[in-house]
């Protein structure tokens, strides 16, 4: 196409040039003649010419005039000659006086001559005009003319215009061709004519070979195209194309669909013995021509399969819903109820779930032999009505060995009973119940054992009534087995969780204090609530210390489960052991931190074991004789102090790093607690959860505590009522201790001189004090103990030496000095002079020991009263 356009433009340009040359040939001569004739005539008839020519020097006058006239007339020359042809003027002055080149004969006779000659300027086109006097006589001639080359150059100047116009036309043709070609390529997706032809042939072949009818109807209601399948499905005549749809003899609904201008999707219509799925789309929606395209598909066979596909789809949907609805919790009973509810709603009329009692407590049932009686607990019943005669939940049912339930539980195989009325094994279970079930309308049964990971946990029974649509079939049995298999995994998961949870709770409870020890320094109440999802590592402890003092401990191990509970037990035991050394709180936490770091190193070396890093602890020691409480914490929330007037204070203790991180010392703080104050210790599960931050929880805690006059038990109840979350995800340990002080008259203290005779005075003072307390029966032992302890202090210690008696639940004797050396118990041989005093102290008292203070040490002993 582009080459054709180029050829046409070139031919047009050549034709224009040729026509221009032909026309210019005649036009240039006519133009040269007319211009030359006009110039010659004008100059020949100019006034005064005759007189000038007859004058003495015609050349001098005429040469300037002719040159001026030549330039104005735009001719190449104007020459004036006499009658003999001798030139008076010429554009080239050296030609003046020479013979005129040309024909002058006719002009001498009064005629105008037009001719071409080779003159001094070259090939010239000239006009010769006679100059006549007043009497009509010719006195000379005037010739004007132009060179032929100059006449042709004017025409040649038009040639570039013609060529430029041709080039412009060629450019426009090229651009138009490119635009048209590009649009054609876009419309044909880059396909050439041959490819378009092949594609059209291929599409035509596909259109007539496809197993789907295609009919195209124009806007006038006539059939434009109908492939072979459309002709077969609609039974169209051979000349259907081009005919009106209304003339084809189709039924009204088919005709209406073919002529419809609206969209139709998968509408099924009967055509003869066939069922056709019809789709119709208008062709003018995207700017196309009016009309419609209709596709027809034979769906006769698909209609027969639609029912089965719908049933299969419903069963898949049931299994999917079951996987989402069953096992939402790790509770065995709840899982069984979810299975019964799901099955009775979409699969059967009634569903019952029976589980072994061992499963309910997390254990595996015993393996039974064939024919044995099976005892199962009815856990869940669900159905379309609530008044069915089936066993109610909670009842322990003894299934006879011949029943489908017992056989299924023993063998692990499902049982399908299409007609319960004719099943002999079922009828042996309970004749009265069997009749009640039949009278109620239940006619068919499927019993499926709940088996997961090789463990038989129970039996699921599905019942169908007579009005349901027939008894159970084999397809129903396979669906019931799939449903039971999914539920069995959830039941077994819940069973395993129950077992693990029970073990963890048992372990945790065994590691926590079972009862508070007897002591007189504090009135203590506590609450411990394990997390709902699993036990954690929170713990608390109340530890009596020498000197009527009491240690309070609250700790938290990160994580849940058996590992956290076991770790909690190890830490609690370690704290109890460290407390026997009577260490200050900060030193005790330092030793505990080293222990946790050591345990973490062992876990890392073993590989696969969890570390303890992240555990927290708060340790406090309260002395009722001084009302001073010393506290230190390792990453634990700060304790709260409730003063007797109801003022609440969160103690600003140095936080310290969590246990196991190491590298940082712990700091202790001391404060005096007035009698009746309450010290509140807790773990972070009380004040922090997923729905609130710890700051908000502490604000609530302080507001709840700010009420004076309540006992520790009442404080615990109020705090839990305000702060216990709906879904408890972490353990909660709460310890509330109200302080008491040892009355001044229950304490006696003396300073002892470092002299042996001072021992007798100490014994005498102690005896008098015991008499004042009414403890005369303890005087003998007390004298022996004080004699030994004071003597050791005088001999091995350094001043000051002090003696203190405390009358509490026990009688406490304390001897202090400023030395850091401590005695130790040993067996003295016969030759030893010493070493028997401490042995007597240990045998006569309940316990004794040494504790160190910043000023030295204290050796103490306790006697039961």
Mean pLDDT of the region 95-122: 82
Q: Which of 231-245, 297-311, 730-744 has the highest mean pLDDT?
A: 730-744
Residue 558 binned pLDDT confidence (cut-offs 50, 70, 90): confident
Poorest-confidence range of 111-115, 442-446, 623-627?
Answer: 111-115
Asked whether the beta carbons of 485 and 322 are under 8 A apart, the reply is no
Q: What are phi and psi of 481, to 5 degrees?
A: -65, -40
Mean pLDDT of the region 305-323: 72
Whose tokens are 């079951």? That residue is: 322
Angle at 277 between CA 275 and CA 278, to 5 degrees: 125
Mean pLDDT of the region 75-103: 86
User: What's the token pair of residue 204?
Assistant: 């035509």
- Proportion of the chain above pLDDT 70, given as a percent: 88
pTM beyond cutoff 0.95: no
Asked whether the beta carbons of 683 and 732 are under 8 A apart, the reply is yes
User: What's the token pair of residue 807?
Assistant: 């009358």
Within 13 Å, how many C-alpha atoms sit on residue 622's CB side? 27
Residue 832 binned pLDDT confidence (cut-offs 50, 70, 90): very low
Residue 715 has a pLDDT of 94
Q: Which one has a higher pLDDT value, 287 or 573? A: 573
Query: 562-580 vs 585-606: helix axis angle to the nearest 10?
Result: 140
Q: Check residue 818 and report its DSSP letter.
A: S
Q: Which of 158-172, 317-331, 826-840 has the highest mean pLDDT?
A: 317-331
Q: Which one has a higher pLDDT value, 721 or 5? A: 721
Flag whether pLDDT at 411 surpasses 50.
yes
| Closest to 614 (Cα-Cα) out of 555, 562, 685, 667 | 555
Bridge partners of 811, per DSSP, are 807, 863
Residue 319 binned pLDDT confidence (cut-offs 50, 70, 90): confident
Mean pLDDT of the region 804-810: 90
Flag whether pLDDT at 366 surpasses 90.
no
Poorest-confidence range of 50-64, 200-214, 333-347, 751-765?
Answer: 200-214
Rg of the Cα atoms in the chain: 63
Residue 533 binned pLDDT confidence (cut-offs 50, 70, 90): low
Residue 831 has a pLDDT of 47
pLDDT one-digit tens code per residue, 49-65: 888 888 888 888 888 88
pLDDT one-digit tens code per residue, 696-713: 889 999 999 998 889 999
Residue 208 has a pLDDT of 67
pLDDT one-digit tens code per residue, 599-627: 877 777 766 556 666 789 999 999 999 99
Q: Which residues contact 718 (CB under 8 A, 6 or more apart)?
A: 704, 707, 710
Asked if residue 800 has a cis previous peptide bond (ω within 30° of 0), the answer is yes
Number of H helices, E strands in the chain: 24, 30
The secondary structure element, H or E, covering residue 816 is strand 810-817
The span from the CA of 727 to the CA of 540, in Å, is 22
Flag whether pLDDT at 661 surpasses 90.
no
């Amino acid at each position: 196409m582009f080459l054709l356009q180029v050829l046409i433009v070139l031919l047009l340009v050549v034709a224009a040039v040729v026509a221009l040359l032909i026309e210019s040939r005649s036009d240039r001569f006519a133009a040269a003649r007319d211009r030359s004739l006009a110039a010659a005539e004008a100059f020949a008839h100019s006034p005064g010419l005759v007189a000038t020519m007859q004058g003495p020097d015609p050349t001098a006058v005429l040469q300037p005039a002719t040159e001026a006239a030549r330039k104005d007339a735009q001719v190449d020359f104007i020459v004036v000659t006499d009658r003999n042809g001798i030139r008076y003027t010429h554009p080239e002055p050296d030609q003046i006086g020479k013979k005129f080149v040309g024909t002058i004969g006719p002009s001498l006779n009064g005629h105008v001559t037009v001719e071409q000659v080779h003159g001094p300027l070259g090939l010239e086109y000239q006009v010769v005009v006679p100059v006549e006097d007043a009497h009509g006589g010719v006195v000379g001639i005037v010739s004007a003319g132009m060179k032929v080359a100059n006449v042709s150059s004017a025409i040649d100047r038009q040639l570039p215009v013609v060529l430029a116009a041709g080039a412009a036309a060629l450019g426009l043709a090229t651009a138009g061709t490119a635009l048209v070609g590009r649009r054609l390529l876009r419309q044909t997706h880059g396909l050439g004519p041959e490819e378009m032809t092949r594609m059209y042939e291929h599409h035509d072949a596909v259109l007539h070979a496809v197993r789907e009818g295609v009919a195209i109807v124009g806007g006038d209601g006539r059939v434009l195209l109908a492939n072979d399948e459309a002709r077969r499905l609609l039974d169209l005549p051979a000349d259907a194309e081009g005919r009106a749809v209304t003339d084809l003899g189709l039924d009204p609904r088919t005709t209406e669909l073919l002529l419809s201008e609206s969209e139709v999707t998968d509408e099924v219509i009967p055509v003869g013995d066939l069922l056709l799925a019809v789709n119709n789309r208008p062709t003018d929606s995207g700017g196309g021509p009016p009309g419609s395209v209709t596709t027809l598909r034979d769906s006769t066979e698909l209609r027969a399969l639609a029912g089965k596909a719908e049933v299969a789809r419903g069963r898949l949907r049931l299994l999917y819903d079951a996987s989402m609805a069953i096992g939402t919790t790790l509770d065995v009973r709840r899982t069984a109820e979810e299975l019964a509810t799901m099955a009775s709603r979409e699969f059967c009329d009634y569903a019952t779930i029976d589980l072994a009692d061992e499963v309910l407590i997390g254990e595996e049932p015993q393996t039974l032999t064939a024919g044995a009686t099976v005892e199962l607990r009815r856990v869940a019943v669900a159905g379309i009505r609530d008044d069915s005669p089936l066993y109610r939940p909670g009842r322990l049912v003894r299934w006879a060995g011949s029943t489908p339930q017992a056989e299924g539980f023993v063998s692990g195989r499902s049982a399908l009973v299409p007609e319960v009325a004719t099943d002999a094994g079922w009828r042996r279970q309970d004749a009265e119940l069997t009749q009640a079930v039949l009278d109620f309308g239940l006619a068919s049964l499927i019993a499926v054992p709940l088996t997961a990971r090789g463990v038989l946990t129970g039996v699921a029974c599905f019942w169908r009534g007579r009005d349901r649509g027939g008894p159970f079939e084999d397809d129903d049995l396979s669906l019931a087995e799939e449903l039971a298999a999914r539920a069995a995994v959830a039941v077994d998961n819940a069973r395993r969780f129950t077992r693990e949870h029970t073990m963890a709770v048992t372990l945790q409870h065994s590691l926590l204090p079972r009862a508070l020890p007897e002591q007189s320094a504090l009135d203590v109440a506590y609450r411990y609530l394990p997390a709902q999802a699993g036990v954690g590592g929170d713990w608390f402890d109340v530890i009596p210390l020498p000197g009527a003092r009491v240690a309070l401990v609250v700790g938290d191990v990160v994580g849940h489960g058996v590992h956290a509970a076991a770790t909690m037990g190890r830490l609690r035991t370690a704290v109890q052991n460290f407390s026997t050394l009577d260490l200050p709180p900060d030193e005790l936490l330092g030793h505990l931190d080293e222990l946790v770091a050591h345990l973490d190193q062992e876990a890392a070396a073993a590989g696969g074991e969890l570390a303890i890093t992240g555990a927290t602890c708060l340790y406090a020691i309260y002395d009722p004789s001084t009302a001073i409480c010393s506290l230190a914490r390792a990453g634990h929330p700060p304790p709260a102090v409730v003063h007797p007037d109801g003022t609440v204070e969160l103690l600003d203790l140095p936080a310290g790093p969590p246990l196991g991180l190491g590298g940082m010392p712990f700091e202790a703080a001391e404060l005096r607690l007035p009698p009746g104050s309450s010290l509140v210790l807790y773990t972070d599960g009380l004040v922090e959860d997923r729905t609130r931050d710890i700051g908000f929880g502490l604000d609530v805690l302080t507001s709840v505590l700010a009420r004076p006059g309540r006992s520790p038990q009442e404080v615990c109840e109020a705090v839990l009522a305000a702060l216990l979350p709906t879904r408890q995800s972490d353990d909660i340990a709460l310890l509330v201790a109200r302080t008491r002080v040892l009355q001044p008259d229950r304490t006696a203290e003396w300073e002892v001189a470092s002299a042996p005779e001072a021992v007798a005075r100490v014994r005498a003072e102690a005896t008098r004090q015991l008499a004042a307390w009414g403890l005369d029966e303890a005087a003998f032992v007390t004298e022996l103990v004080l004699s030994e302890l004071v003597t050791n202090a005088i001999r091995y210690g350094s001043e000051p030496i002090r003696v203190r008696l405390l009358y509490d639940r026990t009688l406490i004797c304390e001897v202090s000095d400023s030395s850091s050396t401590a005695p130790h118990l040993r067996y003295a041989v016969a030759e030893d002079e010493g070493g028997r005093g401490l042995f007597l102290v240990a045998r006569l008292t309940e316990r004794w020991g040494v504790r160190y203070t910043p000023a030295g040490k204290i050796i103490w002993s306790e006697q039961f009263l």
